[in-house]
Structure 1
Amino acid sequence: MHAAPGALAMLVVPNHWGAHPLLPGSPFATRLRGWAEAGVSMFAHGWFHRDMATHDNALDRFKARRMTAGEGEFLGLDGATAARRMTDGRDLIEQVTGLPVAGFVAPAWLYGSPARAALGRCGFALAEDHMKVWHPPSGRILARGPVITWASRSRARIASSLLAARLLPPVLRHAPVARVAVHPGDAHVPALLDSIDRVVRRLGRTHRPARYGDLLAG
């Protein structure tokens, strides 16, 4: 299955871990603008991508430690801080690309309740987590089903993501929408690249590439 740029989405981190700021006019900013002009949908993807919050309840501590490696930035933020980072990220990406962002996706797909509420106030048209895509201003669910993704930080994460990538395509075969998410680090692990190719080929038998924005029109 071949996907044109218009059927792809990129999640942009404005300042990854506080060490890699997105600077207007930089070579990377120029590349982002080119991708956006080619039709790639740009999503704001947090601000730092790093979780620097203190988690008071056990469930959030479990998510922060087990579902990501310290990168659930929006899991423990208060509403005002979450809204500020969301809008600052959106404004910067739109300045760089010259085009509106498609939506917002929290790092590691993890949101605390204040961050979810802030999404609606900030007016993003689309947001997603592990299990769904929704319209934040109204709360309307646009698509349901697990996202197929991979992890490359350790042998255990590689093995578990390879297993999930084998099990999920049959589950999603009859789902109206199937999502596939690839991280930059995946490109450095041959087994993950092979798995990504298999998943895309298999889903190509039952699904066609489409834009996230198409979900808003049903």
Structure 2
Amino acid sequence: MPPADARQRAVSVVLHDVAPATWPACARLLEMVDACGDVPVTLLVVPDYHHRGRIGDDAAFRDAIERRLARGDELALHGLYHLDDSAPRPRGPLQWATRRLYTASEGEFAALDAGAAERHMRAGLEQFAERGWPVRGFVAPAWLMSTGTRAALTRMPFSYTSTRRALYTLPEWREYPHPSLVWSVRSAWRRGASQLVNTLQERRLREAPLLRLGLHPADADHPAAVDFWRNTLRSALRTRRAVTKAGWLEHAA
């Protein structure tokens, strides 16, 4: 693992839920990130977000992604639908709370068996291949992966995956325990808690080799979240180099 000195420390900006339906909000966040400096972004692309249209069917979205790739961003597969609507029903109150309340029924890979998980991944990769878009990483929606999903990943052509708490190289599942900062903006109390928790977490991770910033399209509608990301990124860039997830793992391996 890279030493935690100033020359080696890095910051990785990751934008979740990238799709034609979310692109206006994504574009606003990317404008903020671009204004902070030369920052390559890992874009977590959902090929058919909430069954609202394939990524290849929207010409404006295709062109926008091509421009982002040209400036050095990377693409990662972020599920197929970003909906937990094809897996077995939740079993017990804890699983119900995790899959229905905590994730708002978006944890697509939370309960899939290996066969279903592989089919979803391959269907998503087909849409990337149609556009000739490179993809090296897979990130499950809401960072939730069933045992079957983990098994399927060992058979897929990805070089890495990640959870909220760590990154993993594939297929050997070598762990790099670097947590991601992330906001929850669905209610006022969640936004207040996010402000407090992320501020404390950012201070705790100040000397960590890698600082992960996990942005979501919904953040764009909340000034407190946008201000937090802007200030945190600007501060990080004073002592850290900006990298994509794939770029950091290449250095770490």
The question of a shared fold, defined as TM-score above 0.5 by the shorter chain, is answered with: yes
Give the whole-Å Cα distance in 1 for the aligned partners of 2:120 and 2:38.
31
**Structure 1 residues 105-114 or 63-72, which shifts more?**
63-72
List gaps (5 residues or longer) in structure 2: 1-34
- The Cα of 1:3 is off from its aligned counterpart by 4.2
- Structure 1 residues 69 and 25: alpha-carbon distance in aligned structure 2, compared to 1, 3 A threshold: closer
Shift in Å, 1:137:
0.6
**2:36 touches 2:234 (CA, 8 Å); kept in 1?**
no
Give the aligned residue type for 2:179: P
What are the within-5 Å matches in structure 2 for residues 198-209 of structure 1? 198-209=231-242
Residue 91 (structure 2) aligns with: 56
- Aligned partners of 1:144 and 1:177 also within 8 Å: no
C-alpha distance in 1 between matches for 2:50 and 2:78 = 12
Q: Kindly state the Cα deviation for residue 172 of structure 1 after the two structures are TM-superposed.
A: 0.8
Instruction: Kindly indicate whether residue 214 of structure 2 is the aligned counterpart of residue 181 of structure 1.
Output: yes
* Residue 87 (structure 1) shift: 1.8
1:131 aligns with 2:173: no
Instruction: Indicate conservation of the 8 Å contact 1:169/1:202, yes or no.
Output: no
Match 2:121 to one of 71, 75, 86 = 86
Give the counterpart of 1:72 among 107, 132, 135: 107
**Map of 1:171 onto structure 2:** 204
Q: Contact 1:134/1:140 (CA < 8 Å) preserved in 2?
A: yes
Cα deviation digits, residues 126-164 of structure 1 (max 9, x gap): 1110000101211112x3122011122211221221112
Query: Structure 1 stretches of 5 or more lacking a match?
Result: none
How far apart, in 2, do the equivalents of 1:58 and 1:79 lie?
24
Amino acid at match of 1:131: R
Deviation at 1:25?
A: 6.2
SS at the partner of 2:117?
helix
Cα shift readout 1:22-64 (whole Å, capped 9, x = no counterpart): 1256221221122123211001000110111312255433321
> What SS is found at the alignment partner of 2:196?
helix
Identity of aligned residues (%): 32
Against the structure 1 CA distance between its residues 144 and 206, is the aligned structure 2 distance closer, same or farther, given a 3 Å change threshold? Answer: farther
Normalised TM-score (structure 1): 0.90
Distance in 2, matches of 1:146 and 1:153, equals 21
Instruction: Give me the TM-score of the superposition, normalised by structure 2.
Output: 0.79
Q: Report the AA paired with residue 119 of structure 1.
A: L
Task: Please identify, of 19-28 and 177-186, the stretch whose mean Cα deviation from structure 2 is larger.
Answer: 19-28
Larger mean Cα displacement after TM superposition, 152-161 or 53-62: 53-62
Q: How many residues align?
A: 215
Residue 46 of structure 1 contacts residue 73 of structure 1 at CA under 8 Å; is this kept in 2? Answer: yes
